[in-house]
Homo-oligomer: A and B are copies of this chain.
Amino acid sequence: MSIRIGIMGYGNLGRGIECAVAQNPDMELKAVFTRRDPAEVKILTENVPVYPAGKAEEMAGEIDVLVLCGGSATDLPQQTPKYARLFNVVDSFDTHAKIPEHYAAVDAAAKEGGKVGMISVGWDPGMFSLNRLYANAILPEGSDYTFWGKGVSQGHSDAIRRIDGVKDARQYTIPVESALEAVRRGDNPQLTVRQKHTRECFVVAEEGADLARIEREIVTMPNYFDEYDTTVHFISEEELKRDHSGIPHGGFVIRSGCTGWNRENKHVIEYSLKLDSNPEFTASVLVAYARAAYRMNQEGQAGCRTVFDVAPAYLSAMSPEYMRSHLL
């Protein structure tokens, strides 16, 4: 019998979940839930219902894992504990500083409901976190580096859009190649914010807007741009649409460390992602962890889990025997 998946929230991430479920023959999409008017939400899969969010509670017996596709700022802190009482759930909660608090709330709710609540799944937090953990366990003496990009930062793009005279904008975060190379050589550099990443902005201005002022407001914006070397390009709406409508992202997690009686040997462990679609890749990770949540709950587990708690074999549709003879 296939694993019955529900999707809560149908934006870019929700649609990514729908696509990922279609690539996994052991899963089936059971329902999509939305806070919008369901009649106005068109999904890709045929013969799958779209319901108002409030109907989810009634379907506890028909869905094995509910994948929560809301935002980390206000949606998930409410939704994940709420639904973890009724369903196995997976979320992509990514406010790193608030993970302990979120963990505690989801753990209590999931234990109450006898379900598994899998939080902070995706690539950072998620696959990047895993790689930090593995590399730290293997090389206890060393330094960690995480670089992001080249990719679109939604938060930075939104910040530019709020500037007076800006019609639309797209911001790319770009790792500094020379910093990456120094880290890969095992130089263990101490890098400032400015030395690690640059920011490149493509901006559509309103007609007659003061471009010099817009550029100045961008590059000096506190928290977002002031600590970075930032380049601003003014382009037309057509160019933005033609050249910058994708949502690519990616990045690098590198640990360099040493071994040997006198720490004489250096080692560099590197993990990197190059993603055409940030939400679709994130969704693909969530779906693999949905499989794990279902299986762990089937074994009787309940409570909050993160990627650190999941044995890799739970993620794959392959049998243990097949995995051992083909992937090990």
Residues of chain A touching chain B, judged by Cβ–Cβ distance below 8 Å, are 16, 18-20, 22-24, 44, 96, 99-100, 103, 120, 125, 127, 129-134, 136-141, 184, 186, 259-261, 265-277, 280-281, 283-285, 288, 291, 306-313, 315-318, 320-321, 323-325, 327-328
B269 touches A273 (CB 8 A): yes
- Which of chain B's residues have a CB closer than 8 A to the CB of A269? 127, 272-273
Complex Cα distance, B307 from A316, in Å, reads 14
**Given A133-B323, A308-B323, A328-B129, A138 and B288 contact (CB-CB distance below 8 Å):** yes
B307 touches A312 (CB 8 A): yes
- Which of chain B's residues have a CB closer than 8 A to the CB of A281? 138, 259, 267
**Given A261-B44, A320-B308, A315 and B137 contact (CB-CB distance below 8 Å):** yes
Complex Cα distance, B131 from A312, in Å, reads 10
A328 touches B96 (CB 8 A): yes
B259 touches A277 (CB 8 A): yes
Complex Cα distance, B260 from A19, in Å, reads 6
B23 touches A100 (CB 8 A): no
B133 touches A327 (CB 8 A): yes
Q: Shortest Cβ distance from A27 into chain B, in angstroms?
A: 10
Please tell me which one of the listed residues B100, B139, B323 contacts residue A321 in the complex, with CB atoms under 8 A apart. Answer: B100
A272 touches B270 (CB 8 A): yes
Please tell me which one of the listed residues B44, B184, B310, B316 contacts residue A311 in the complex, with CB atoms under 8 A apart. Answer: B310
**Cβ-closest chain B residue relative to A184:** B274
**Cβ-closest chain B residue relative to A310:** B311
Of A265, A272, A313, most buried by chain B (CB within 10 Å of CB) is A265
- Which of chain B's residues have a CB closer than 8 A to the CB of A139? 284
A324 touches B284 (CB 8 A): no
Complex Cα distance, B313 from A137, in Å, reads 9
